[in-house]
A and B are shown apart, each in its own frame.
Chain A
Amino acid sequence: MSVIENLKKGIMKSNPVLVLLLGLCPALAVSTSLDNAIGMTAAVMFVLINANLIVSIIRKWTPDRVRIPVFIVIIASLVTIVDLTIQAFSPDLSKSLGIFLPLIVVNCIILGRAEAFASKNSITDSLADALGMGLGFGLALLIISFFRQLLGTGTLELFGQTLLEVPGLLDNPMAIFILPMGAFLVMACLLAFLRYMGVIANE
């Protein structure tokens, strides 16, 4: 597969959240606002790209028997670096992502890509794969948080700027969409819609 194909497959054909249904815990938990979605995506992308890069570089020397512990050590270190960096430079973001930032360690997208792709493919392909998967994760999070923030609070805010306000909703927001249950509702509707439109192929 070419680099472009590797990049594209993560966004559409095997989007980690919408098609592979991986990494749903952070995707559903932090998708309450666009800011959170972007912050989470940036953190996941950093970890994913670096993990794929390192795993791909050392793939020829990594003994099969210890490959999973090696991947976990690499991923956990990268996540800790991101966590400390965000705490140092953006305490507000660190507060709103809370426990889900350190929990990127157990995000199956990252270990999944390391094991299924980066440990068997060249550095360029692994980077393209990570970038595509990261963008796909971000896209899914942005779509989910768009609906949740808009319906749940009546406004759409991005970095403190109000993008959109729905007058009727502003006074009586449908708070259920901000609650965890709303995440499942939005996710289910989104998957059903994408399937109906044929964007996601049926198995």
Chain B
Amino acid sequence: MDKNTFKEDIFPILFLTIVVCIAVVALTATNGFTEKLIEDNKNEAIKENLAVLFPEMDDLQVNETIGVYTILKEGNTIGYAFEAVGQGYGGDISIMVGLENTSMAEDDIIVVGITIIDAAGETPGLGQLITEESFLEQFVGVNANDMMLSKNGGQIDAISGATISSSAVVDAIHDTMLAKAELIRELLEGGI
């Protein structure tokens, strides 16, 4: 192999390979260092949201297979919570929904309250108004059957100028609460 081939063809390949190897090492190190912190942040955020919905909560049980948190107080179930994700105006909106501890029959699914976990993609001053208390408090005590915008016959008033964000929240909660209620029912009957 003459010197030219090495300089022209092989060295560039070697050089790029070395650069990539160094990058992999640096990224693995960073990931190892931050992974636990990021995980902790997420769990912390979930706990904070749950504490808002269930102030009297003293323990928490995570059912990972069905994606439901069982909220406990002195060992008794006081409610359930889960995350609902809706397609908003500028990305996903994720919502923490709390349910009362009911029979979970289709006409007996009642919302304790909701908090918005992430609505960063929504427009500030319009879509992000879904994080305001005046919008969120409408959801307290609402039955699954009434979980619709008022123009569709439900109980929730949309924010004017932010219909997409409002209906994304309502639809996501409506669909997810029905699905989760069924799973909770199966869980209680020992099906899962």
A87 vs B19: C-alpha distance when bound (angstroms): 25
Nearest Cβ on chain B to A92's Cβ, whole angstroms: 9
A98 at the interface (CB under 8 A from B): yes
Identify the closest chain B residue to A85 (Cβ): B34
B179 at the interface (CB under 8 A from A): no
A65 cross-chain contacts in B, Cβ below 8 A = 12
A4 at the interface (CB under 8 A from B): no
Partner of B126, one of A58, A76, A175: A175
Nearest Cβ on chain A to B35's Cβ, whole angstroms: 8
- In this complex, how many residues of chain B approach chain A with their Cβ under 8 Å: the count is 26
B34 cross-chain contacts in A, Cβ below 8 A = 84-85, 87-88
Assess the B23–A77 pair: CB atoms within 8 A. Answer: yes
Given A95-B118, A152-B125, are A84 and B12 neighbors across the interface (CB < 8 Å)? no
Partner of A70, one of B11, B16, B30: B16
Assess the B27–A96 pair: CB atoms within 8 A. Answer: no
Given A84-B31, A88-B38, A96-B120, are A74 and B23 neighbors across the interface (CB < 8 Å)? yes
A84 vs B35: C-alpha distance when bound (angstroms): 8
8 Å CB interface, A133-190 against B: 152-153, 173, 175, 178-179
Identify the closest chain B residue to A33 (Cβ): B124
Given A87-B41, A152-B124, A153-B124, are A80 and B15 neighbors across the interface (CB < 8 Å)? no
B121 cross-chain contacts in A, Cβ below 8 A = 98
A61 cross-chain contacts in B, Cβ below 8 A = 15
Assess the A80–B120 pair: CB atoms within 8 A. Answer: no
- In this complex, how many residues of chain A approach chain B with their Cβ under 8 Å: the count is 32
The binding surface of chain B is classed by DSSP as: helix
8 Å CB interface, A76-102 against B: 76-77, 80-81, 84-85, 87-89, 91, 95-96, 98-99
A87 cross-chain contacts in B, Cβ below 8 A = 34, 38, 41
A69 at the interface (CB under 8 A from B): yes
A198 cross-chain contacts in B, Cβ below 8 A = none
Identify the closest chain B residue to A71 (Cβ): B19
Assess the A80–B45 pair: CB atoms within 8 A. Answer: no
A81 cross-chain contacts in B, Cβ below 8 A = 26-27, 30
Partner of A63, one of B15, B26, B37, B126: B15
Assess the A178–B123 pair: CB atoms within 8 A. Answer: yes
Identify the closest chain B residue to A87 (Cβ): B38
Q: List 12 A-B contacts (CB under 8 A).
A: A33-B124, A58-B19, A66-B15, A66-B16, A76-B23, A77-B27, A80-B30, A88-B33, A88-B38, A98-B91, A153-B125, A175-B123
Task: Give the interface of A toward B (CB within 8 A).
Answer: 32-33, 58, 61-63, 65-66, 69-70, 73-74, 76-77, 80-81, 84-85, 87-89, 91, 95-96, 98-99, 152-153, 173, 175, 178-179
User: Lowest 9 CB-CB distances: which A-B pairs, in order?
Assistant: A88-B37, A88-B34, A63-B12, A77-B23, A66-B12, A175-B125, A84-B34, A91-B41, A95-B120
